[in-house]
A = this chain, B = another copy of it.
Amino acid sequence: MQESLRRFKAGIFQALAHPTRIAILEQLKERELSVSELCERLALEQANASQHLAVLRHRNIVLPRKEGNQVHYSLRDPILGQVLDLMREYFHKHLEEALAMLREEGKESVAPRRRNEVPR
């Protein structure tokens, strides 16, 4: 597979690689929502929500539907919903380490590794 195709996939993952956008997609997985509904549910600034939606839109991950004054967004392909479901499963499976990882967050003690040890 060529570099360009991998860039396409990487682009999709990159679009998913932000907590806010994951939150948005988890909402849209259930049903179509307007921008203001999303802002309300997720406590987002309007401009910020719009920017994140733009990221998702540019990757064709999300579909806008205009209705009068507002824009309703929906998840374009259920496959990405499945991906999110798999991630949920993955998350549960690795709950312990996920929590540990989150607890470690912010620490920067370097803890030099002992000789003969495999890298962190």
Asked if residues B16 and A91 are in contact (CB atoms below 8 Å), the reply is no
- Count identical subunits in the complex: 2
Query: Which residues of chain B have C-beta atoms less than 8 A from A87's C-beta?
Result: 9, 12-13, 83
The tally of residues in A whose CB lies under 8 Å from a CB in B reads: 49
Asked if residues A60 and B97 are in contact (CB atoms below 8 Å), the reply is yes
Chain A, residues 19-31, CB within 8 Å of chain B (1/0): the string is 1111100100000
Chain A, residues 41-76, CB within 8 Å of chain B (1/0): the string is 000000000000010011010001110000100000
Task: For the A-B complex with A82-B86, A83-B87 known, give 6 more contacts whose Cβ atoms are closer than 8 Å.
Answer: A10-B16, A13-B14, A13-B87, A60-B94, A60-B97, A71-B118
